[in-house]
Structure 1
Amino acid sequence: MDLEFARAFAAQWQDDWNSQDLERVLTHYHDEVTFSSPMIARFTGDPSGTVRGKDELRAYWARGLELIPDLKFEVMDVRVSVGTLVIDYRNQIGGRVYEVLTFRDGLVVAGLGAYGETLAR
């Protein structure tokens, strides 16, 4: 993982989310992806806060787009690690969120969303 790839990915990720075209977003994710977020628990009622597989991820994000029709992300910063990148972004209500994404063979295989104060809103 290098910073050039991470920055290009984050810019595309932002554009894909802001298009609200869920299939466009999902092209970056492996069929067997695992994703965790406190918003999963909130939107689905599953206290584990985790979805497994692209179909479950699609269902969770479709529900999120239903509930947040004005969704918009602005990437603030990007960090890299071994096979992983972190996207620091501002959402439509001005909250800062961190998306941690781990890649295998060019696709996201694991991810998590980390929230601060915006989780209470």
Structure 2
Amino acid sequence: MDLRAHADAWLAAWNQRDLDAILACYAENVDFVAATVVRRWGRADGRLHGKAELRRHFALGLELAPDLTFTEEALLTSPGGYALLYRRENGNRGLDVVELDQHGHAARVNAFYEDPQQ
């Protein structure tokens, strides 16, 4: 499992604003948790399940931030996953903690933000 390659593909997809390429980084049954889910969809647990829900969430994120770019600050790895610290174009920092499945797709993701995001 090439953690560096997965993180690089994820960053490139977001910076190219390519929704299909972004979603290709995730497992079909991904479990995704973020404060943006609470704000956008009113889900108190901040949890999305599966690519269909994630597609809707990320499509709205791209719409809300037309100049969105991510710059990596640090990649921390462990067996089967990584934590990626990045900075957005608006200065806000995020940390995605990613657990990959046996096929190298993000199966569980917890996204943390330094400041609230839309």
Please, what TM-score do these two structures have when normalized by structure 1?
0.89
Q: Aligned match of 1:26 in 19, 23, 28?
A: 23
Please, what TM-score do these two structures have when normalized by structure 2?
0.91
Alignment match, 2:65: 68
Alignment match, 1:54: 51
Runs of 4+ in 1 over 3 A off after TM superposition: none
Q: How does 1:75-114 map to 2 (within 5 A)?
A: 75-105=72-102, 106-114=104-112
Unmatched tracts of structure 1, length 5 or more: none
**CA distances 1:39-68 after superposition (whole Å, capped 9, x unpaired):** 111122222211001100111111111111
Q: For residues 8 and 27 of structure 2, what CA distance do their matches in structure 1 show?
A: 19
Higher normalized helix content (fraction of residues)? 1
Q: For residues 9 and 54 of structure 1, what CA distance do their matches in structure 2 show?
A: 17
Number of corresponding residues: 117
Q: For residues 28 and 12 of structure 1, what CA distance do their matches in structure 2 show?
A: 7
**CA distances 1:61-115 after superposition (whole Å, capped 9, x unpaired):** 1111111111110011100112111101001111111001101121111101011
Unmatched tracts of structure 2, length 5 or more: none
Amino acid at match of 2:6: F
Contact between 2:98 and 2:106, CA under 8 Å: does it hold in 1?
yes
RMSD, aligned CA: 1.5
Q: For residues 87 and 99 of structure 1, what CA distance do their matches in structure 2 show?
A: 5
Identity of aligned residues (%): 33
| Secondary structure of the structure 2 residue equivalent to 1:119 | coil
Q: For residues 30 and 117 of structure 2, what CA distance do their matches in structure 1 show?
A: 27
| Secondary structure of the structure 1 residue equivalent to 2:116 | helix
